[in-house]
Structures are given as structure tokens and as C-alpha cells.
Structure 1
Amino acid sequence: MRFSNPSSSSMLLLFTVFVACFLATSADFNRDAEITWGQGRGKVLEGGRASTLSLDQYSGSGFQSRNEYIYGRFDTQLKLVPGNSAGTVTTFFLSSQGQGHDEIDFEFLGNSSGDPYTVHTNVYAQGKGDKEQQFRLWFDPTAAFHTYSIVWNPQRIIFLVDNIPIRVFNNHEAIGTPFPKRQPMRVYASLWNADDWATQGGRVKTDWTKAPFVATYRNFNIYSSKPSDSLNGNQAWQTQELDSNGRNRLRWVQQKYMIYNYCTDFKRFPQGIPAECKRSRF
């Protein structure tokens, strides 16, 4: 696959951000996260500024934030598994725990050497997901670090790649669509084997002769409030949205790089597409 870069002007900040109002935390992997599984396959490097997760035929690995959050912006720079990554899944996501959990997902589905990654996004609210959108990228995500961000506020969720919005999921509770807003969530990341479904529907399996597979995270940042804080004191999260340039870039990404949208999968929803799909994507 040939990778092309958008023009330099397209890399401008594309949405309205009131950073001065945020409670900003420059996160440290030693202080703000913990390796939670993998038996040594996850490592913290560079004095807490970076972390690597690895996968072999015995286990993957993962980390999670020490704290929970209600609303915020969550960033990480990530360099994905290079070469033949078929069967592997690298993740960066938010999730609550327990029955009826909420979740906001970035999942990066590996592929055979030379074929592009699939960026899989999904939103769960009150235990219900089935809101997948998938994308290719306009660059090679294994050659250098790129920033992946989740913005979550009471009105919408925005998925961004290098500050370019690729998806917006609006709060449509008024028409009966659940939206994650009551359960605090932790930040999670993992690298694991899913060769039963991840690559071409499970047709391409993991080549364990290429193991260990390694993904590298760095510059993990959290801009948020503590769960105990009053939402009335965090007006920035309630007003953040795309501006006109952001909407244009969202259209560009979705027209050129979206490869699956649950809202247009009419075979999957023979009784009619979900109600939120009939509303504006913005």
C-alpha cells in the first residue's frame, strides 16, 4: 500500500479546544499506570515516559491507568507492531467494569507484511456496543510514532489521529441511544492474539516465528477531572466540538479512508438502521 500525507495545512488543530480550562496531567507510566498482565512482557522505559507491550505464543500484555475518570481527553503516541503483524491486536481504550459496562475503543488490527492496518473503533454504553467504524490510515503506523486521542464529554465522543478527527459519536439519549456518561472509566492498553477474527476475518493466522511482537507507547497524557469533581466546574468538556475545518477533515477521512460503517450495513440491520445513524454525524 502506498501511504500519502495530507498537506501541511491539514495538520492544523481542527476542533475547538479550551485547554486552559482542563485539569491537565502529564502522565507518567510509573506514577499513573501499572502493568497489569503479561508476566514481564510489558515494560516501562525512559524513566516512565514510554512503555512497550509484547506478545508471544504464550501471552500478550497490557497496562491500565491507576485512576478512573469521568470525561476528558486521553492521548498516547503509539508505534505499532512492524512487519507481519497478522493476527495481533494493539489497543488503546477506556472502560468501566462490571455488568452494563461502558467502553470507548481504539483497536489496531494487524495484517500481513505490506498490507495496511485496520483501525477499529467502537462505543459501548450500558453493556451495548455494535457501533463499529473501521478505517485505514494515510501513513505507515509502524514507521514512526503517531498520536491517537479520545475526547469524551457529555455531548459527544471524538476519535482523533494526529489531531485529525476520524469519528464523532454524539449523545443521542433523547432518541433512546445509550451514551456513556455515568460510569467512571480507566485507560487501558494491550497487545494480544486474536487470529480467530482480527485479520481478514480470521483467514490469516499469527506467524509465531515472527514473535515476539512489540508495540511502543509514549507521551501518555490525560486531561480530565476526578470522578468526584462537580461537572458544573468543567465547562470546557461540555462545549468542546469540531469547528468547520474539523468537519471538513472528518468528511475527508470518512470519504477516503473509512472501510466499514455500521450505519450503512443494511444486511446487518434488516429492520432498519439504528436511530442515531439517521442524525447528522456532527
Structure 2
Amino acid sequence: MSTHTSEHHHGTAILKEIAVDYCPEVCHHKPEADEIHITFDHRGGARWRSHHRFQYGTFAGRIKCPAGNTTGLNFNIYLSSLEGDKSQDEIDFEFLGKDKFSVQTNFYTVGCGNREQMHELGFNYSEDFHEYLIKWGPQTIEWLVDGKLIRKEERKPDEAWPEKPMFLYSSVWDASYIDEGRWTGKYEGCDAPYICSYRDVRVPVENIVTEEK
């Protein structure tokens, strides 16, 4: 791993165990190599997560998103108090398949989001591994790419804030139906199968709150 990102990993360890929420046949975890791979094809995609929730800390992963015509797909790494819960807290990195040169960040408090920002990356996210890191605290949230800060949010007085214990999640899915395809584009699938690869996924060594239910 490059030295310019190592300074941001204080208090973290490699995630060695994951749970797969659906389609385990297309999610391959290689703990001996610290790698995870999700394949998206006619079977759909998959979602993996940490076994534990955490409250605050640093979360990171080196990700190489799928190549080819990925219009319609969404790839991501994010924190959520519980996927599918309409009152969730959440902090996101999301890659939109129609644009390989940008990433979207967002965060939710008690199910309320609408804080999206788009960030130009300066590279094609499908050509190599790059590190995406979230630093979440009781007063600030920071999003970093390859050690460079791209967004920082500071808590304002009397403002709702993501503070529920959260799992680390990642998934690959067809988001064509969102906003009639305007968000990620319409899925065509002409270059399937698509593979999203993760290396050196890191989570806090402390701040573990809840065992998997």
C-alpha cells in the first residue's frame, strides 16, 4: 500500500470476515489475500457487510470498479445503521455507472439524505485500484480519495447528525429504475460479466457496538 495513505489508517485493522446479504454465489472473499470480488451478470449482483456495527472511526478500502459499458450500475462503499431501514443513518461513496471519472458522496440522518455532492476524480475509476476512506466522528465527517480530502462536513448546532452504530457495506446493483435512469443511466449489460474488486478493506479496531443479529 502506498505510504501517502498509511497515515490515515490509525486505529484500524483489515476486515477479515464478512457477511453476504444476498447472492453469495457472486461474492468471493479471499481473506488470505485481503480481497473481495463481486460479479454482476444475469444472476444480479451482491451486497457484503461487516459482521459488526461501529460508532465512529475510520473506514477504507481500495476499489477497482468494473470496466466496459457499466451504464445503469451502482458500485459503492458506505456506512449504514441498517440497509433497508427507512430511518437509517448512512455515509456514502457511490460510483455511478454512466460516469467513470466522478464519485458521489452523501450522508443521511434518520432517513433524510439529499446531501449529494459529485466530485471529479481525475482518473478512470475502472482502470486501477484507488483508496476511498471515510472518517466519521461525533462532530465531523471526512471523505478522502488516495489520501486527499475531497469533502468535509462539520456538525452545526441543533443539527441532526449520523450517530447510530453502523455496518460497513458494499454492493453492486442495477439502479436503472432510479429517477427513470437519469442517476446511473440505463443498464445495457453488453460487457457483462462485470467485476468490482476490493483490497485491504479497513475498519476500526475499537468502537464495536453491536454483534450481528
- TM-score category (smaller protein): 0.7 to 0.9
SS at match of 1:215: strand
- Relative distance call for 1:220 and 1:211 in structure 2 (3 A) is same
The 2-side partners of 1:86 and 1:25 are apart by 34
Q: Is contact 1:110–1:117 with CA below 8 Å preserved after alignment? A: no
Quick check: 1:179 aligned with 2:161? yes
Quick check: 1:102 aligned with 2:89? yes
Q: Is contact 2:57–2:207 with CA below 8 Å preserved after alignment? A: no
- Relative distance call for 1:92 and 1:199 in structure 2 (3 A) is farther
Q: Is contact 1:120–1:135 with CA below 8 Å preserved after alignment? A: yes
User: For residue 5 of structure 1, what is the aligned residue in structure 2?
Assistant: none
- Relative distance call for 1:87 and 1:122 in structure 2 (3 A) is same
The 1-side partners of 2:55 and 2:116 are apart by 22
Structure 1 unpaired stretches of 5+: 1-10, 230-282
Deviations 1:218-262 (A, max 9, x none): 101112523459xxxxxxxxxxxxxxxxxxxxxxxxxxxxxxxxx
SS at match of 1:90: strand
Query: Larger relative contact order (C-alpha < 8 A, sep ≥ 6)?
Result: 2
Q: Is contact 2:101–2:122 with CA below 8 Å preserved after alignment? A: no
RMSD: 2.6
Quick check: 1:131 aligned with 2:112? no
Deviation at 1:12, TM superposition (A): 5.2
SS at match of 2:200: strand
- Relative distance call for 1:117 and 1:197 in structure 2 (3 A) is farther
Q: Is contact 1:78–1:216 with CA below 8 Å preserved after alignment? A: yes
Deviation at 1:59, TM superposition (A): 1.4
Structure with more helix by fraction:
1
Deviations 1:205-227 (A, max 9, x none): 22223211110011011125234
Deviation at 1:44, TM superposition (A): 1.2
User: For residue 210 of structure 1, what is the aligned residue in structure 2?
Assistant: 191
TM score, norm. by length of structure 1: 0.66
For 1:178, the aligned partner's letter is: A
The 2-side partners of 1:141 and 1:17 are apart by 21
TM score, norm. by length of structure 2: 0.86
Deviations 1:13-72 (A, max 9, x none): 6xx9693xx3x32222xxx21222124011113625101111123411110000110001
- Relative distance call for 1:35 and 1:103 in structure 2 (3 A) is same
SS at match of 2:32: helix
Q: List aligned pairs for 1:150-169, cutoff 5 A.
A: 150-169=134-153
Return the match for 2:106 from 117, 122, 145.
122
For these two proteins, the number of residue pairs brought into alignment is 206
Q: List aligned pairs for 1:75-86, cutoff 5 A.
A: 75-86=60-71
For 2:42, the aligned partner's letter is: Q
**Mean Cα displacement is larger for which, 192-201 or 93-102?**
192-201
User: For residue 51 of structure 1, what is the aligned residue in structure 2?
Assistant: 36
Return the match for 2:206 from 219, 225, 231.
225
The 1-side partners of 2:8 and 2:185 are apart by 41
- Relative distance call for 1:127 and 1:199 in structure 2 (3 A) is closer
User: For residue 78 of structure 2, what is the aligned residue in structure 1?
Assistant: 93
- Relative distance call for 1:165 and 1:34 in structure 2 (3 A) is same
Deviations 1:91-143 (A, max 9, x none): 100000245210001110012xxx53431111101111111101121112111
For 2:151, the aligned partner's letter is: R
The 2-side partners of 1:48 and 1:219 are apart by 9
**Mean Cα displacement is larger for which, 50-59 or 74-83?**
50-59
